[in-house]
Structure 1
Amino acid sequence: MSRSYWTGLLALAAQLRGAFSYPANISEGQLVTRDDGDFIFAALGDSWAWGLVCALERVRWQRRQLLALQVRLVHRCREPWFRLAARWQKAKLEFKACSGSRTDNVMEQMVKTTRPKVTLMEISGNNADFYPMTDSCIFHSDRDKDYGTFFEDDDPDNPTGECWREIKLVRGRLESNDIKNKIVNVIHAWRGHPANMGNDASLFLFGYPWFFGDTKDCDNWSFSVFYEPEDKRQKLVQGLRTEFNKLIDEMNRNIREAVEMFQDSKIQYIDINTAFHMHRFCEPGSTWSDQLNWNNNVWIWNSPGRWWITIKKENDEKMYDMLAQDAEMPPWDEVEKMLAHPDGEAKQVGDIISRTYRDPDDSSHSMMWGGSLKDFKALGGSGSGGGNSVARTLHPTQSGHEFMGLTIVERLKQDFKGGVTQQPWGPINCPTAVLAPEPALRRFVLSSVIVSKL
Structure 2
Amino acid sequence: MSRLYLTSLLALAVDLRGAFSYPTNTSEVSLLARDDGEFIFAALGDSWASGVTYTPFNSYDGNKDNCKRYSYAWSTVVANHGSDWLPDGKKAKLEFVACSGAKTENVMEQMDKTTRPKITLMEIGGNDADFYPLADSCLFHSHRDKNYGKRYEEDDAEHPGGECRREIKEVRGRVETDGIKKSIKGVINQWRYHPANAGNEASLYLHGYPWFFGDSEECNDWDFTVFYNSDPAKNQKLVHDLRTDFNKMIDQMNRNIREAVEEYQDPKIKYIDINPAFDQRRFCEPGASWWSQLNYNNGVWIWNNPARWIITIKNGNKERKYGKLFESPPQDEVEKMLAHPNEPVMLDDGDTISRTYSDPDDENHSMTLEGSLKDFQNFRSGGGDGSVSRTLHPTQPGHEAMAKIIIERLKKDFKSGVTQQPWGSNNCPAGCKCSSSGAPPLCS
TM-score band by shorter chain is: 0.7 to 0.9
8 Å CA contact 2:155–2:165 kept in 1: the answer is yes
Using structure 2 for the length normalisation, give the TM-score. Answer: 0.78
Q: What is the deviation of 1:344?
A: 3.2
Superposed, 1:37-436 pairs within 5 Å as 38-49=38-49, 50=51, 51-56=73-78, 87-88=89-90, 90-228=91-229, 229-323=231-325, 327-349=326-348, 350-382=350-382, 385-416=383-414, 418=416
Q: How many residues align?
A: 361
Higher relative contact order (CA 8 A, sep 6+): 1
SS of 2:412 mapped into structure 1: helix
Q: What is the deviation of 1:390?
A: 1.7
Residues 105 and 158 of structure 1, relative CA distance in 2, 3 Å threshold: same
Q: What is the deviation of 1:134?
A: 0.6
8 Å CA contact 1:413–1:419 kept in 2: the answer is no
Which residue identity is paired with 2:213?
F
Q: What is the deviation of 1:107?
A: 0.5
What CA distance in whole angstroms lies between the structure 2 residues aligned with 1:338 and 1:418?
Answer: 58
Residues 240 and 338 of structure 1, relative CA distance in 2, 3 Å threshold: same
Q: Alpha carbon RMSD of aligned pairs, Å?
A: 2.3
Residues 334 and 276 of structure 1, relative CA distance in 2, 3 Å threshold: same
What CA distance in whole angstroms lies between the structure 2 residues aligned with 1:62 and 1:247?
Answer: 34
CA deviations on 1:210-254 (whole Å, 9 max, x unpaired) are 000022121010000001121120000000000000000000000
Residues 56 and 336 of structure 1, relative CA distance in 2, 3 Å threshold: farther
Residues 59 and 42 of structure 1, relative CA distance in 2, 3 Å threshold: closer
Residues 104 and 62 of structure 1, relative CA distance in 2, 3 Å threshold: closer
Q: What is the deviation of 1:380?
A: 1.9
Which residue identity is paired with 2:190?
A
CA deviations on 1:260-292 (whole Å, 9 max, x unpaired) are 111000000000000000000000001000100
What CA distance in whole angstroms lies between the structure 1 residues aligned with 2:78 and 2:293?
Answer: 25
CA deviations on 1:339-395 (whole Å, 9 max, x unpaired) are 11113344444111100011111111111000000101222223xx12112210000
8 Å CA contact 2:84–2:407 kept in 1: the answer is no
* 107-116 or 44-53, larger mean C-alpha shift: 44-53
Which residue identity is paired with 1:252?
N
8 Å CA contact 2:301–2:395 kept in 1: the answer is yes
Considering fraction of residues, name the structure with more helix.
Answer: 1
Q: What is the deviation of 1:87?
A: 3.1
8 Å CA contact 1:281–1:300 kept in 2: the answer is yes
Q: What is the deviation of 1:60?
A: 8.6
Residues 310 and 277 of structure 1, relative CA distance in 2, 3 Å threshold: same
Q: What is the deviation of 1:44?
A: 0.1
Residues 189 and 278 of structure 1, relative CA distance in 2, 3 Å threshold: same
What CA distance in whole angstroms lies between the structure 2 residues aligned with 1:315 and 1:203?
Answer: 60
Which residue identity is paired with 2:75?
V
Residues 391 and 345 of structure 1, relative CA distance in 2, 3 Å threshold: closer
Q: Percent same amino acid at aligned positions?
A: 63
SS of 1:105 mapped into structure 2: helix
In structure 1, the gaps of 5 or more residues are 1-33, 64-84, 421-454
Larger Rg: 1
CA deviations on 1:51-78 (whole Å, 9 max, x unpaired) are 4335449959969xxxxxxxxxxxxxxx
Which residue identity is paired with 1:40?
I
Q: What is the deviation of 1:35?
A: 5.5
What CA distance in whole angstroms lies between the structure 2 residues aligned with 1:202 and 1:132?
Answer: 34
Which residue identity is paired with 1:378?
N
What CA distance in whole angstroms lies between the structure 1 residues aligned with 2:320 and 2:388?
Answer: 25
8 Å CA contact 1:45–1:101 kept in 2: the answer is yes
What CA distance in whole angstroms lies between the structure 1 residues aligned with 2:39 and 2:186?
Answer: 26
Q: What is the deviation of 1:101?
A: 0.7
8 Å CA contact 1:294–1:332 kept in 2: the answer is no
Residues 336 and 61 of structure 1, relative CA distance in 2, 3 Å threshold: farther
What CA distance in whole angstroms lies between the structure 2 residues aligned with 1:295 and 1:116?
Answer: 37
In structure 2, the gaps of 5 or more residues are 1-33, 52-72, 419-444
Residues 285 and 125 of structure 1, relative CA distance in 2, 3 Å threshold: same
8 Å CA contact 2:104–2:183 kept in 1: the answer is yes
Which residue identity is paired with 2:320?
K
SS of 1:223 mapped into structure 2: coil
8 Å CA contact 1:54–1:398 kept in 2: the answer is no
CA deviations on 1:399-450 (whole Å, 9 max, x unpaired) are 0000000011111112235499xxxxxxxxxxxxxxxxxxxxxxxxxxxxxx
SS of 1:215 mapped into structure 2: coil
Q: What is the deviation of 1:329?
A: 1.3
What CA distance in whole angstroms lies between the structure 1 residues aligned with 2:201 and 2:417?
Answer: 19
Residues 57 and 308 of structure 1, relative CA distance in 2, 3 Å threshold: farther
Using structure 1 for the length normalisation, give the TM-score. Answer: 0.76
What CA distance in whole angstroms lies between the structure 1 residues aligned with 2:285 and 2:243?
Answer: 11
Which residue identity is paired with 1:200?
E
